[in-house]
Amino acid sequence: DAQGRIKNMMAERGWTEYRLAKESGLSHSTVTNMFKRNNAPTLPTLEAVCAAFGITLAQFFAETINQGKVKS
């Protein structure tokens, strides 16, 4: 769930949707629609979000997969 992962990363940093839009260079409406309308982010949108968070797409997806695994 990409939106959930992005929300978690925003919460970790104390970022609002507005702050994510500013940091990523995306329009505020793009960020808002991603959450309010449950629109899956496009690849260019995800790339911009990852750049704002200082991570790569590979890290984004690796951490998303790892969150779903049970730790022993």
Quote the tokens at residue 40. Answer: 């899956």
50 CB-side CA count, 13 A: 18
Name residue, tokens 């968070």: 53
Condensed to tens digits (0 to 9), the pLDDT of residues 15-43 reads 999 999 999 999 999 999 998 988 889 99
User: Which pTM value belongs to this model?
Assistant: 0.83
Angle (CA) 42-44-47 rounded to 5° is 110
Measure the CA–CA gap between 40 and 72, rounded to whole angstroms.
Answer: 31
Instruction: Report whether pLDDT(46) > 70.
Output: yes
